Amino acid sequence: MDDMQVSMYQLYKNMLTSYLQNKSEHALYHAQQFSKQMMEQDMSPEETVSLHLSVFQDIADELPEEVTDSFDLLLEVMIGYGLAYREHQSLRDRQQELESELNVAAQMQRTLLPDAGINLDEVDFGVVSVPAGKMSGDYYHYDLDDEGNLAIAVADVIGKGVPAAMSMSMIKYAMDTLTDKQMQPGYVLESLNRVVERNIDDDMFITMMYGVYHPKNSHFYFASAGHEPGFFYQSAGDTFTDLEGRGLVLGVSPRMTYKEYDFPLEDGDMVVFLSDGVTESRVDGEFIERDQITNMIRERLDLPAQEIVDEIYQQLEKAQEFQLRDDFTLMILRRKV
């Protein structure tokens, strides 16, 4: 035996002798400390059993043959257990490494999303976006151009995990390139569609709703690429209308056109964009109805837009026992009274 093995042998011998003589709690405490040294020395379970048998044979006058033989069986059991334990440790270490990498990636992903305020006096704006897991397949966008027009968008990658998150980052940089000069929603989606079709796998697609509010004429323009319909709230009649837009999801064909729609925004009117993580929320075990969502908004009309989206998220999160089943994004643009 080398010096370390001799030291461990003597330490274990003293500890076992003390315990057999006194049966004290102090000896058990030393055993717990010894286990830490075993881990530091990377001792396997079968090596521990072998150490115990060697020390026991050394300090006992004579061991019954059955006892000695029983340790042979225990050693075989521990060899199998040790192999499985070491494999488990290796997998756990790898999982912790991946978890750390995902945390870094999730933090980087959050930096892709806008977080600055909107400097537009006549607009009240709010957005909440929460991933169901570490990485999100939802993307949202808002930006003011040089003319004071406000562009907003919500997108959803059909897919999960890291591939979806990578697609989201591609959309972000494409949006930055395409919308540096304010363009109409239909043209933006057509341009994005060509980028997506060239750069993502055939089994992945992206839905998006993109809109622009023009304060000069108080009109809102939008187009949809197969995305979950939003809502248009008209304050004068206290009514909600679905924002239905025809258009195929991004990435199917490079030659797609997207129809553009527009309507005036009067004082107090709202545009609501959302992802299917909102409409697929469950309340009392059932999928939420769209009119339940609009009722939740209507109940909070006296609040600022950001407080409305925050409170609705908190209510639906609680209804699902704080376990989101899908990425959740809700956005409100309201023309101030």
pLDDT of residue 49: 81
Burial class of residue 293 in the structure, from the number of CB atoms within 10 Å of its CB (0-12 exposed, 13-18 middle, 19+ buried): buried
In CATH terms, are 3-105 and 118-335 the same topology?
no
The CATH fold assigned to 3-105 is 1.10.1240
pLDDT of residue 127: 96
- Listed as ranges, residues in the chain with pLDDT below 50 are none
pLDDT of residue 11: 84
pLDDT tens sequence across 224-262: 999 999 999 999 999 999 998 889 999 888 889 999 999
pLDDT of residue 275: 94
Residue 21 has φ and ψ, to the nearest 5°, of: -80, -40
Distance CA 322, CA 285 (A): 13
pLDDT of residue 159: 64
Domain boundaries, given as residue ranges, for the chain: 3-105, 118-335
pLDDT of residue 102: 62
- Reference 243, options 261, 234, 233, 231; nearest CA is 231
pLDDT of residue 230: 96
Q: Output the CATH code of domain 118-335.
A: 3.60.40.10
Q: What does DSSP assign to residue 296?
A: H
Dihedral sign for Cα 38, 43, 46, 47, please: negative
Helix (H) or strand (E) holding 163: helix 161-178
